Amino acid sequence: MSDAEATLEAAPLQTHTQTQATHADLMALYRESRIGEVLAELDRDLIGLAAVKTRIREIAAHLLVERARETLGIASGAPTLHMCFSGNPGTGKTTVALRMAQVLHQLGYIRRNHLVSVTRDDLVGQYIGHTAPKTREVLKRAMGGVLFIDEAYYLYRPENERDYGQEAIEILLQTMENQRDDLVVILAGYESRMETFFHSNPGFRSRIAHHLVFPDYAPGELLQIAEHMLADMHYRFDDDARRAFEDYLAHRIRQPNFANARSVRNALDRARLRQANRLFEAAESGNGVADANALMQLDASDIRASRVFTDS
Which phi and psi (to 5°) does residue 149 adopt?
-105, 105
- Report, in this order, helix, strand and coil percent for the chain, each rounded to 5: 60, 10, 30
Q: Higher-confidence residue: 2 or 46?
A: 46
3-state DSSP call for residue 183? coil
Q: 58-92: b or e for each residue (b if 16 or more CB lie within 10 Å)?
A: ebbeebbebbbeeeeeeeeeeeebbbbbbbbbbbb
Long-range contacts of 69-75 (CB under 8 A, 24+ apart): 69/24, 71/24, 72/21, 72/22, 72/23, 72/24
Extract the runs of DSSP E, i.e. beta strands, from 169-262: 184-189, 210-214, 236-237
Is the CB of residue 104 less than 8 Å from the CB of residue 63? yes
Residue 185 · residue 155 · CB < 8 Å:
no
Q: For residue 9, count CB atoms less than 10 angstroms from its CB and return exposed for 0-12, middle for 13-18, buried for 19 or more.
A: exposed
| Every domain of the chain and the residues it spans | 16-214, 219-311
C-alpha separations of 50 from 54, 212, 214, 215, 312 in Å? 6, 12, 10, 10, 32
Q: What is the mean pLDDT of the chain?
A: 90
Best CATH choice for the domain 16-214 from the list 3.40.309.10, 3.40.50.150, 3.20.20.10, 3.40.50.300? 3.40.50.300
What would the mean pLDDT of 160-185 be, rounded to a whole number?
91
Task: Tell me whether domains 16-214 and 219-311 share a fold.
Answer: no
pLDDT tens column, 77-109:
778 899 999 999 999 999 999 999 999 999 999
CATH of domain 219-311: 1.10.8.60
Give the pLDDT confidence of 251-305 residue by residue, as tens digits: 999 999 999 999 999 999 999 999 999 999 988 887 778 899 999 999 999 999 9
What is the DSSP annotation of 59-73?
A: HHHHHHHHHHHHHTT
Residue 48, classed as helix, strand or coil, is coil
Residue 17 has pLDDT above 80, yes or no: no
* Exposure b/e, 187-219, CB count within 10 A at least 16 = b: bbbeeeebbebbeebeebeebbebbbebbbbee
What Rg value do the Cα atoms of the chain yield, rounded? 26
CA 253, 96, 33 angle in degrees (round to 5)?
155
**What is the band of 111 on the pLDDT scale with cuts at 50, 70, 90?**
very high
